[in-house]
Structure 1
């Protein structure tokens, strides 16, 4: 049995929910509201000094953090992280792309729209975040024009990692209509056995996102 500390609206946390669903693996999900300080308590920081979610804990007390590292560990020995050394390196390259060229823009724009106060000065960051997020979607669209998945011929943790914030990009003001191959890929993922949907946002966050679209 493993325990996963996660904040359900987080794309980084939802990746793990998806992986666990695909594997049908028993686990304890410990809801950890990072938006309201739950990762800054002395108890949490003693386990994860970086104070973030997700965090995985084994029954013997081992701790693993960083969503894509956890994905790799969960998927080890399964088709979701399979192939030879070259194929696995291709998978890792997309995991690094997701964390360096995708998540910093798409996830942050979503956070500002849904969690920052309406008068937050951070809203001035949105045009730049959206420009760079669309650059990432352009890279994905180019790849998916020639490939069904992001790692060889099969669905993998590379797809799960990129799904995490792509599927809810609209929350951050990203319209995906210009990326038909990305939209078709999202549908392919939703059709996978064991797929788990992200829970609905709290009313407060959904309202802020709606105001961002109209304001």
Structure 2
């Protein structure tokens, strides 16, 4: 397998993290997304016409884009994807929550800082909305984690992997997690798992 990735991409990190936790070896090919490499004709034609990473290239040459789909594919047949019907649905529930409530709100402030985007009055107003919704999503996680070690069942699943990345990186965008002790303890718990891969520097 080959992972088409970007060094500081949170979505790419999700896949690298799961690969590490599973002990699965995989060649990694990194792209400069800011420099436009994922929009070059060769990438669009042979890797992903949507111009995004991560993309998992399988042994037969099949390209599987979208981090959630890749996580689900890699977790199949492992303890990271439960066999029981309701638990699998709960995994999907939290993966969808991550995509719709967590990712954009926590990732965009980090991305703007990382790329040195000028904060205009319009962007400042947008940031206020992002932080409001981001803290709301973190509050949902905080309340749910009360008395729980992981999000589904009594062991880590691919839901934890999907949810982990942007809360772990959100301080780079200006978020503060002091008011979310259960989330903080859960982040530390994930970081102690065998095969854990540190986030991009």
TM-score interval for Structure 1 and Structure 2 normalised by the shorter chain: over 0.9
Return 112-121 or 123-132, whichever deviates more: 112-121
Question: With structure 1 as the length reference, what TM-score do the two structures score?
Answer: 0.89
Q: Structure 2: how far apart are the matches of 1:123 and 1:17?
A: 32
Residue in structure 2 matched with residue 94 of structure 1 by the alignment: 94
Deviations 1:89-108 (A, max 9, x none): 00000000000000011011
Unaligned runs of 5+ in 2: none
Matched positions, count: 199
Q: Structure 1: how far apart are the matches of 2:125 and 2:114?
A: 14
**What is the Cα deviation at residue 74 of structure 1?**
0.5
Question: With structure 2 as the length reference, what TM-score do the two structures score?
Answer: 0.95
Deviations 1:26-51 (A, max 9, x none): 21100112122111011111131111
User: Which portions of structure 1, spanning 4 or more consecutive aligned residues, are displaced by more than 4 angstroms?
Assistant: none
Deviations 1:134-187 (A, max 9, x none): 000000000111311111111011111111111011111110000000000000
RMSD: 1.2
**What is the Cα deviation at residue 123 of structure 1?**
4.1
Unaligned runs of 5+ in 1: 201-215
Residue in structure 2 matched with residue 167 of structure 1 by the alignment: 168
Q: Structure 2: how far apart are the matches of 1:106 and 1:199?
A: 16
Residue in structure 1 matched with residue 72 of structure 2 by the alignment: 72
**What is the Cα deviation at residue 87 of structure 1?**
0.5
